[in-house]
Amino acid sequence: MKRLALGRGGRPLRIGYGRIFHEANTFSPLPTEREAFTEFHHVEGEALAKAATLRGSEIVGYMPHAEMTGFVQACRLAGDVETVPLASSLAVPGGPLTREVFDWLVDNLVDKIRAAGPMDGIYLALHGSMEVLGEDEAPEAVILRRVREALGEGPRIAVSYDLHANLSAGLVDPVDVLIGYRTNPHWDLAPTGFRAGNRLVRTLRGQCRPVHAFRKLPVVLGGGTTIDFMKPMRAVFRAMKALEKDPRVLSASLFMVHPYTSAPDLGWAVHVSTDGDLALADDLADQLADRAFAVRKVPLPPMFTIDEALDEVRGDMARKLGPVTLIDVDDIVGTGAPGGNTRFIQALAKDDRGLLSYVTLHDPRLVDELWDAKIDAVHPVTFRGTPGYEQPPVEVEATLVKKTTTDFGRTLRLDFGGTRVIVAERPPLPIHPKFFKAVDLPVRTADLIVQKNFFHYRLFYATTSFRHLPVVSDGASSLTRVRERKYAVPTWPGQDPESWRRYDPILRGLTKREPARVAEHREVLS
């Protein structure tokens, strides 16, 4: 392992840090409002400074140490750096942000920057797949422009993006340091912030001079499971790490895009930053793009129907070691779907196969109907799911076992047969076992759990659930929609572009988001 340059020495520095982080799903009927941030993660000033320490809890209940903590530690180790906490806002993925909430987030961050006084630089943790109703430009590009206006021309900007960012010129050109997650599931939030802080300090002290090259690939799905430590992506991620062992290379990143926004320039991207050598950055970006493009045809795991999955679980004795996870591929709250899919409940109501099953559901109308109902009593229940989501209603007689308040608002537990349905007034994301513990359900005793997440739940269920079955139904995160939607260029897997080089200039040229083209895409997707 090469010796880590910490950026020590040189003049004292003053650097701000903050976050505006959201991943949007254009197919969701639920726009994202202010409460999605204020009730999940919105921290400012000294509260942020306290949270972003090794003794703090940055994202309470989920990730004690994330990007802000990593950044602060990089600055501490560099020495003579004053870190200035601004504002950090994060929400569970959902539908596009309303204009009101986007303006509130950006105005608040800009106000904090202006109130902070002169700074040498700023670090921002952004996602890269945000969407705002009525906004034709990439929202992160708008954030960066507003931040630059508030900072003035002198200070440097470092940014980190989620591995599923949709990279574009508006997200690359305004920044001095650009870092991406390098794990999927994403456990490396704190190391990402550390890397960004390290490169920013070194840049400000004249110890390196970052230059950038990025390439866009006409790919939206591919690479098997896309998990970084499994084939075929393992070789790609190892190649990126190998590149960074060269002292001339500051960073190498792959962005496997979130495919559920209306951006016309959707596609995987690679990014390479070198120390002042643009020709080297261009050459390495081409090589990395070739390597990533080559794995596009590695298929996703086989998909099950709901009935096929239930039959599979019934016949699998491995469930005695822990619950089998059914991944609700078409209603992944982790991609911004609303979580209101009733089809699993419908199948279990018809035949539960003698299985003890935990299912979550977004159904605010049902929460309203039963919130004042009697506990431990049987009630006639109609599960309808998310309003406007067009899910089949399911009528059962169910026992109301629990009423409580969770991170996802008022929450009910309803039992019928072997099925336990946890109903929340906001889209539920049960990636942590504490979600089920809150309604008195031990996860290890279940036969199956329906998850609303592709990857991240595995971090918290690694010693509990050992088999994972992707299941298709119908919803906002349907991969069929991804394959069949209209793209600006031939895009895998709907079409095979055969070469990324022909389409890279086109995709990078679309990054201004022409209003007419965006409107056309949104009409097609709707």
Q: What is the mean pLDDT of residues 471-498?
A: 94
**Averaged pLDDT of the chain:** 94
Say how far apart CA 331 and CA 346 lie, in whole Å.
15
Residue-wise pLDDT for 301-334, tens only, equals 999 999 999 999 999 988 889 999 999 999 999 9
How confident is residue 245, by pLDDT bands cut at 50, 70 and 90? very high
pTM of the model: 0.92
Mean pLDDT on 246-270: 96
**Which pLDDT score, from 0 to 100, does residue 63 have?**
87
pLDDT score for 521:
47
Kindly tell me if the per-residue pLDDT of 516 is higher than 70: no
3-state secondary structure of 518: helix
Q: Torsions phi, psi of 446, nearest 5?
A: -75, 155
Q: 515 pLDDT exceeds 50? A: no
For residues 93 and 334, is the Cβ–Cβ distance under 8 A? yes
User: Would you place residue 178 in the very low, low, confident or very high pLDDT band (cuts 50, 70, 90)?
Assistant: very high
Handedness of CA 458, 57, 90, 34 (dihedral sign): positive
Percent of the chain whose pLDDT exceeds 90: 90
CA 503 distance to own-chain centroid = 26
Burial code of 445-455, b = ≥16 C-beta within 10 A, e = fewer? Answer: ebbbbbbbbbb
Domain with CATH 3.40.50.2300 in the chain: 13-212
Beta strand segments in 162-239, E: 177-180, 210-217
Cβ neighbours for 515, distance < 8 A, ≥ 6 positions apart: 136
Average pLDDT over residues 157-164: 98
User: Using a CB cutoff of 8 Å and minimum separation of 24, what contacts does 522-526 make?
Assistant: 522/26, 522/262, 524/485, 524/486, 525/26, 525/27, 525/262, 525/481, 525/485, 525/486
Round to the nearest angstrom and report the end-to-end CA distance of the chain: 49
**CATH 3.40.50.2300 is the classification of domain 13-212:** yes
Instruction: Provide the token pair at 294.
Output: 């080559």
